[in-house]
Amino acid sequence: MRISFDGRVVIVTGAGAGLGRAYALELARRGAKLVVNDFGGCLDGSPASSGAAEATVAEIQAIGGEAIADGADVTDERSVRSMVGNAVDKWGRIDALINNAGILRDAAFHKMSLADFRKVIEVHLMGSVNCTHAVWPIMRAANYGRIVMTTSSVGQYGNFGQANYAAAKMALIGLMNTLVIEGAKVGIRVNAIGPGAATRMTEALIPKNIAALMTPESVAPAAVYLASDSAPNRVILNATAGGFSRTYIRETVGVHLSGADCSAEGLAAHFDAISDPTGEQLYLDGGQQVKKFVGRAAAAAGVDFSSGN
């Protein structure tokens, strides 16, 4: 069954080039009306120009699609709300948001300025927060919404010289997990894409023969799926060079320590058991971990945890 976006309105940030452009074009081919957002800056976030967004809009129009360009800086709450308001004024709705805008300010942590650390957090994390916060009430009222966060293998596993980027990308997973819970009763599904592609952000890092495989177009199916009616919920979907995988955050069963064992020395002695992945669990909210630990402590103390007495 073909995934269609007929009648849907989608905002894609950072859509002037690279991944965002590929997402926007594929969504347009499937009938979506697009807000093509791009601040138009350099990789470090400056200066700004609306030309990139306008170029993508021209491509969309050339294939018969409908789109408007927007040059809002996603870190500017007022500009973001204006962007969202313009989309609602034009089309009366917003069905999906793909938070794709990002910058790089790489350096080894001991050489990185805190200003550069904050700026990357501002664009990736707070930019996604600003855009999501602006569309959230619209989606709640419609009882429908699709939010896509952009995480990264760097956020999940780390990479030298990208502490700021990694911190932002992992923070977006925490944001996703909570918004999944808050959006569940109002038809809003929230997922994250972990893309790997040869774009201007990575061109200095990837050999040309490998870059030819890592096209933005090979990632676009993941973004389109996560923004669609049939999207899953609470999924970290990785996509690179036509390969797709899912990341889970799981927790070991662990152990309960009491008495003299409940010490740093006891923990060290039992660390292998604590780390044993056998029976590891997938939690849907933070309270499940607390219940696990407190339930064991209650059992050891002879307390009826289930009744709260």
> Which residue type, as a one-letter code, is found at position 142?
A
pLDDT of residue 86: 98
What CA–CA distance (Å, rounded) separates 163 from 19? 22
Q: Which helix (H) or strand (E) holds 170?
A: helix 163-183
How high is the pLDDT of residue 103? 94
How confident is the model over 117-159, as pLDDT tens digits?
Answer: 999 999 999 999 999 999 999 999 999 999 999 999 999 999 9
Query: Residue 68 pairs with which residues in a beta bridge?
Result: 35
Q: Tell how strand 236-240 and strand 243-247 pair up.
A: antiparallel
Cβ neighbours of 77 (radius 10 Å): 16
**pTM score, two decimals?**
0.93
Q: Which of 157, 165, 225, 283 does the annotation list as catalytic?
A: 165
Which value, in Å, is the radius of gyration of the alpha carbons in the chain?
Answer: 22
- C-alpha distances in angstroms, 284 versus 185, 242, 307? 15, 29, 22
Domains along the chain?
Answer: 9-247 (3.40.50.720), 259-301 (no CATH)
- Rounded CA-CA distance 33/35 in Å is 7
d(CA 45, CA 210): 26
pLDDT digits (tens, 9 = 90+) for 167-213: 999 999 999 999 999 999 999 999 999 999 887 766 666 778 887 88
d(CA 93, CA 11): 11
The low-confidence residues of the chain, meaning pLDDT below 50, are: 309
| Integer Cα distance of 173 and 120 in angstroms | 16
Active site residue 165: yes
